[in-house]
Amino acid sequence: MNQDIRIYAKGLAFADGIYDLRTLESVISNYRKILDRLVSVQLGKRQVTKDLRAQLGYQVQINPGSIELLVKFLLEHKELIAVFAADGGYTLSEIIVRLLRDAVELRKKASEILKKGLTVNIKITNSFNVGSSINSGNVSFDQTSGSILINDPKILWAAQVTRSPINEILSSVDGKNIEFIDMSSPTNELRLTTNDRDIIGQHKEELPTTLTVVGRLDMVAFSSHRGSIISDGERFSVTWDEQIRSKMQRIADVEGVMFKVRPIVDHKRLDSSAIGFHVLDCNDPQEKMFS
């Protein structure tokens, strides 16, 4: 089979043609997620749509050895992906590997900045173009401004949407069971090793901004000051200090409680969206329990 992308993993988990099931499943499923999401990003979409899923398939051949997956794009000649279907997937495979390589490089540079206690500042030096290609050297560091420069916003998108599957893969790359994993197209390659594991994990910060969230306290562990707030159908992780523990206990599972909170962000996500809140105070307006 003439493949578009080659994925090769080496380690004890794949020795002598006998594979560890969990490790094998992790490699295959997370790379499938990466391919789906990067194709979607290249088309200017944050989510993998139903139409795209119907038009995009993968044919996989497993070669003997450690584990070598040969992936071929199965592209329907429809309007949505016609720009990439003309050459049977060659152009798309080159774009996908370069895009993922730059996404990982962006996360590496962000992790280095966070280690120094500095703020990550990403500047985009080019406009968004669905049909644009990703070139080498797209991620650089500006010593003058202290900013990370990327020349296409799709690189930031790619870093965000592939964060979870890349983290899952790197969690398995321990230098022994999996020594490394290569992903390559005909002319480009990305290798993930234990040296890349610094990009996983979190770098949390509680922002000084104060917000009011209306919802219900759920899934509570009072001894560890942790729980969840359900608000407008969404669930947010929350923490609180000991001094308001009794208040939190009285309003558990009560609807319509007003929580005074500070948002918590994870800078390693390269996203300013809150991943949770720290509760400063709470109030049940219906009973006027607290001031």
Q: Are 172 and 27 in contact (CB under 8 A)?
A: yes
- Across the chain, mean pLDDT equals 86
pLDDT at 194 over 80: yes
> How many Å apart are CA 43 and CA 237, to the nearest integer?
32
Query: What is the Cα 98 distance to its own chain's centre?
Result: 17
| Strands lying side by side in the sheet with 147-150 | 122-124, 147-150, 139-142
CA 4 to CA 71: how far, in whole Å?
6
> Looking at per-residue confidence, does 90 or 241 come out higher?
241
Cα end-to-end span (Å), the chain: 70
Q: What is the pTM of this model?
A: 0.81
Report, as an integer, the average pLDDT of 167-187.
93
Sign of CA dihedral 56, 61, 62, 63: negative
Domains, the chain, ordered by start: 5-199 (no CATH), 204-283 (2.40.50.140)
Residue-wise pLDDT tens digits, 256-268: 999 999 999 999 9
Write the single-letter amino acid at 250: R
Most confident region among 16-20, 78-82, 224-228 by mean pLDDT: 224-228
Which residues does 182 contact at the CB level (< 8 Å), separation at least 6?
A: 6, 7, 8, 9, 189, 190, 191, 192
Within 13 Å and on the Cβ side, how many CA atoms surround 88?
8
Task: Over range 2-10, report the average pLDDT.
Answer: 88
Q: Give which of 120, 73, 76, 80 is closest to 97, Cα–Cα.
A: 73
The pLDDT value given to residue 257: 93
How far apart are the C-alpha atoms of 176 and 60, rounded to whole Å? Answer: 25
- Answer whether 41's CB lies under 8 Å from 30's CB: no
Percent of the chain with pLDDT over 70: 88
pLDDT for the residue 34: 95
Neighbour tally for 25: CB within 10 Å: 11
| Confidence band for 58, pLDDT divided at 50, 70 and 90 | confident
Q: What is the mean pLDDT of residues 109-115?
A: 92
Region 111-127 average pLDDT: 85
> Which pLDDT belongs to residue 124?
87
Distance from C-alpha of 188 to C-alpha of 93, rounded to nearest angstrom: 9
Residue tagged 């797209």 (tokens): 138
